[in-house]
Structures are given as structure tokens and as C-alpha cells.
Amino acid sequence: MPDGTLEYYARNFKEFGESTFNVDFSSTQERFLRHLPPKAAILDFGCGSGRDTSYFLQKGFSVTATDGSPEMCRLASANTGHEVKHLLFQELDAESAFDGIWACASVLHLPKTELKDVFLRMEKALKDNGILYVSFKYGSFEGIRNGRFFTNFTEDEFKDFLSQNSGMKIIDYWITADVRPKRKEEKWLNLLIRKISR
């Protein structure tokens, strides 16, 4: 992860957790879950405060939670009562292990050059016909902003990126406002992507 981003979470994990854990994100969570079988295996890839891991566990799903920040891992584990594994995105090395991967506002911290490899790793980790949810801030920016690295996408830019770097297929996408208080002006690109059975 680019310089500064992990350090940002090391310094701000408590404040970040307080601003995200209790936010109602159920409409997007359910949009993802309806594509999965009951008790499906989900990878919460960059789980942050553990909000989504907690939701998926309450719904009866089998969740593997990971984060690249040791501080966020400890916070998410405390919030959920569930083990959270310290794992950088580039360290994912599973094969056909998950029905779904949830990468909510997480892999956006990688530059496009590193995202290429991580998308291939996520594709490999999914079972055939598995579902990936991923979200990015909406726009064309790539660089450091307020202490963290971000890669933003528009829908057309992301379609082009995915076509070059993965065999997966977009099945749905939508744009939302940020759900956190005082952040409504920020827009997000949300995508559901299916691993095509080979």
C-alpha cells in the first residue's frame, strides 16, 4: 500500500471506527447477499471497523475477515467478537475458496498498477460464479488525499480497467452518496462483479 495510508489508519483507527461501525449500510449489503447461497463463505477484504463482518455473521454467513492495518484488525475483532486476520491485499493467495468477496472502500487505496494483480487474486479466490462487491470514490483522481492514497473510478473507466485485467463480468453498478454524517457530497461507485465459470 502506498506510503502514508497504513500510517493514517494506525493514527486514526479509533475515530475511523466510530464514524463507520454504526452506519446503516444494509441496502448495499443486501444487494450483495441476495446473489449468494445461504451460509455462503464470504471474504471481508479490508474489513475496517468490522461493520460488515458483523452484519454478515448475524445473517448466518461464514466470514473470513482481513485487514492490512494491525490496529484496524484489533478494533474489528473487538467490535465483532470474531477473529480478524492481518493480511495485505497483495498477500491474498486463496483459490476457489469464497462464494463472495466484499471489498467495500478498501482496494481503492491501491494504485491501478497494483490493482491489476489484486483483481486477479480476488478472481482466483472466488468460486466459479462467485460474486465480488467493490466500491470506489467516484471520479478520475489517483493519488494522495488527506493522508491516504486513493484510486477513483467512473463507470466507464472501471469497465475499461476490468476488461483488461480480469475475466470477471459486471452484473450491476450504481452510484450512491456517502452514508457517513457530513459526507453526503461525496459520491461512490458501487459494483457487483461475477466470476465467469470456465
Q: Which of 185, 186, 157, 184 is nearest to 173 (CA)?
A: 157
At 124-173, the pLDDT tens digits run: 999 999 999 999 999 999 999 989 999 999 999 999 999 998 889 999 99
pLDDT, tens digit (0-9, with 9 covering 90-100), for 6-56:
899 899 888 888 878 889 999 999 999 999 999 999 999 999 999 999 999
More confident of the two residues 198 and 66: 66
Mean pLDDT of the region 78-105 = 97
**pLDDT at residue 1, rounded to an integer:** 57
The string of DSSP codes covering 5-32 is HHHHHHHHHHHHHHHHTTS--HHHHHHH
Which residue stretches of 81-137 are H helix?
A: 112-125
Predicted confidence at residue 167, as pLDDT, reads: 85
CA distances to 38, 145, 162 from 153, rounded to whole Å, are: 32, 15, 11
CA dihedral of 160, 169, 175, 97, whole degrees rounded to 10: -120
Helix/strand/coil (H/E/C) assignment for every residue in 149-181: EEECECHHHHHHHHHHHCCCEEEEEEEEECCCC
Q: Which residues contact 132 (CB under 8 A, 6 or more apart)?
A: 100, 101, 103, 122, 123, 126, 168, 191, 192, 193, 194, 195
Confidence tier at 182 by pLDDT (50, 70, 90): low
Per-residue pLDDT, 79 = 96
